[in-house]
Homo-oligomer: A and B are copies of this chain.
Amino acid sequence: MRMPGGFRYAATYAGIRKVAKDDLALIVSDSPASAAAVFTKNRVAAGPVIVARQNLRASRGRMQAILANAGNANCATPTAEKVAIETSGATAELLGIKANQVLPASTGVIGVPLDARCIIDCLFRLKETLDPSGFDAVASAILTTDTRPKTAFASIRGDRTTLAGMAKGSGMIHPRMATTLAFVMTDAVVTPAALRTALKQAIERSFNRISVDGDTSTNDTVAVFANGGSKFTPSVKEFGEALAEVLASLAQQIVRDGEGAHKFVTIDVSGAATDAAAEKIARSIANSPLVKTAIAGSDPNWGRVLSAAGNAGVPFDPRQADIEMQGVTVCKGGLAANFSEDELKKKLDDPECVIRFNLRGRGRGKTRFWTCDLTEEYIRINASYRT
């Protein structure tokens, strides 16, 4: 697959994080692109989130650059907004575009002032090294506790138009948008309004269906740029599906790289009254520390799954509940099924786990949700993140 045309990328080490590893990245579209983004719903929004929201509105969804840094969230400091405005302003000036055409994004520690100079001093070098082949370097520069980069690609009708996405995030992944940084570039012809709609729908089927630890950060941003470089206008449906494919892949990669996670868990809920009810049940199972630790220990403790479902705040009759783990029926009509615990324990050692919760109701509500197990490593990582 070819990369989407008309985008160039550059990354460098600006000294924002202690380790000498790229921490500043620039993505530029050769021409103004339709832009859409969704941001954290946290009441405490970082400087770059506030400025990105404003720029997106002021530019009426026509933007040209993304300036992202890792190592500092630029949040809850006296200068947060000012630094975001200054650095994206300087970027715009250097590129000869409008200030509101730059989308800033940051990730890292909260409450430590971010030095605008660190960034501004690197901008010229970044601009000079912008290159269509810099995609992977940028995908690496935005990482924090991630153990690997996350990228995903899709194409529409052969290579008439393509999409390339990257994401960062391994903890704090919450099933209400609010998650991580993700940037998707495409050369499809899409209006800003159509892009917004497509993004909203794709998010519902991707980032809103994952959970690592139930926490939501102050900086989460998912942005899509469509610069029309391919001159090809995909149908709403085909573009929506391609975008959802890229975002679902990125979202799942984030779960797979969940802090300390050893297992990837798919949760299927069906037979609920509505999709929304199924989603509540799936989220409750996915967020239950008792379910997540049971999976970590390969313990077929379906009672915890049933109990977590019972906590979802959705009315259902437990006597209608069937539960499968790794394809084995462990609970039938709310009661223990006949299965070999030892064999199932072995199956649960697999890094891919599937929990199916079927309400056998007349309802057709269903959903699919992704999460990971909760391990001692998660605690180790998070008890010492700053030290």
Which A residues are closer than 8 A to B by beta carbons? 42-45, 73, 75-78, 109-113, 171-172, 174, 213-218, 287-290, 293-294, 296-297, 299, 301-304, 306-312, 314-316, 318, 331, 334-336, 374-376, 378-380, 382-387
Residues of B within 8 A of A311 (CB): 42-43, 174, 215-216
The CA of A334 and the CA of B78, in the complex, are separated in Å by 8
Chain B nearest CB, measured from A319 CB (Å)? 10
**A44 lies within 8 A of B318 (CB):** yes
Chain B nearest CB, measured from A276 CB (Å)? 16
Known A110-B307, A309-B43; judge A318-B76 contact (CB<8 A): yes
**A299 lies within 8 A of B385 (CB):** yes
Residues of B within 8 A of A75 (CB): 303
Known A215-B308, A216-B311, A335-B77; judge A383-B296 contact (CB<8 A): yes
Chain B nearest CB, measured from A267 CB (Å)? 16
**B77 lies within 8 A of A296 (CB):** no
**A216 lies within 8 A of B111 (CB):** no
Residues of B within 8 A of A376 (CB): 376, 379-380
Enumerate the 4 nearest inter-chain pairs by beta-carbon distance, A residue then B residue, closest first. Answer: A110-B303, A297-B383, A44-B310, A293-B382
Chain B nearest CB, measured from A320 CB (Å)? 11
